[in-house]
Structure 1
Amino acid sequence: MENIWSCISPLINCLTPCAGDWIAEQVNHVIKFEENLDRLKSDLVELKRIRNDLEPQVAVAEEQSMMQRLDKVKGWLSDFQTMETELTEVIENGIKEIEKNFCCGCPKNCCSRYELGNKVAKKLKDVANLKSKGVFEEVAQRLPSPPATVRPSEGIIMGMKNNLCEIWGHLEKEDVGIIGLYGLGGVGKTTLLTEVNNKFVNTTHDFDVVIWVTVSSNLDLDQVQDDIGKKIGLYDEIWKNKRPEGKKEDICGVLSKKKFVLLLDDMWERLDLLEVGIPLQNKQNSKIVFTTRSKRVCGQMDAHKTIEVECLPWGEAWDLFQKKVGETTLKSDPNIPELAKLVAKECDGLPLALGTVGRAMAYKQTPQAWKHAIKVLKNYAVRFPGMEKKVFRPLHLSYDSLPSDTVRSCFLYCSLYPEDSSIPVADLINKWIGEGFLNEWNDNEDGAENQGYDIIDTLLQACLLEKVSSDFVKMHDVIREMALWIGREYEKQTDKFLVRVGGRETEAPEISKWKEVKRMSLMVNKIERLIGTPTCPQLTTLFLNENSLKMISSGFFQSMHALKVLDLSRNTFLGDLPSEIGELTSLQYLNISRINISRLPVQLQNLVNLKILDMESTFCGQTSILQVISGLSSLQVLKISGVNINNEALVEKLDALKFLYFLNMTMTNASVFQRFKKCHKLQSCTRYLCLDSFSRCITFNISSLQYMKCLNSLHVRFWDDCEDWEIDWNVEGKEIETSNNPLNSHIRNRPCFHSLHSVSIERCQRLKNVKWLIFVPNLKYIVIEFCYKMEEVISRDEWMEAAEKGKISKPFAKLETLKFHFLPQLRSIYHSPLPFHCLKLLAVNECPALKKLPLNFDSAKEHRTVITGSRDWFDKLEWQDEATRNAFLPGSQINR
Structure 2
Amino acid sequence: MWLVSFLGKTITAAIAAAVPSCIGPLSENIVYPFKVSDNVRALVLTTSALAAIQADVQEKVENAELQGLVQNNQVKQWLDQVEMVRGELDDIKNRYEKRLRCLGDRSFNCWSNYWISKDAKKKSTEVQELRDRGKFEEVAIQITPQVQEFSVGSDVVPQEEADLQEILRYIDNDEYDIIGIWGMGGVGKTRLLRRIHNHCKRSSDFDVLFVTASRECSVEKLQEELCDEHGFGRGTGVVSQARIISNYLGNRNFLVLLDDLWDQIDLQRVGIPFPLGLVNQFKRKVVLTTRLVSVCGLMEVKKSLKVVGLDPEHAFRLFKEKVGNETIHSHPLISSLAIDVVKELNGLPLALITIGRSMYGKRDPREWEDAIDLLKRSRLNEIETTPEEEKIYYKLKFSFDSLESAELQNCFLACSLWPEDFPIYKIKLIECWMGLGLLCAFDAQNIYNPGYTLIGKLLSACLLEEEGSDFVKMHDVMRDMALWLVHTVGIQGINGLCKRGLELIKCYTREVVGFMQSGRHYLQAKN
TM superposition score normalised by structure 2: 0.45
Q: Which has the higher helix share?
A: 2
Relative contact order, higher structure (CA 8 A, sep 6+): 2
TM superposition score normalised by structure 1: 0.27
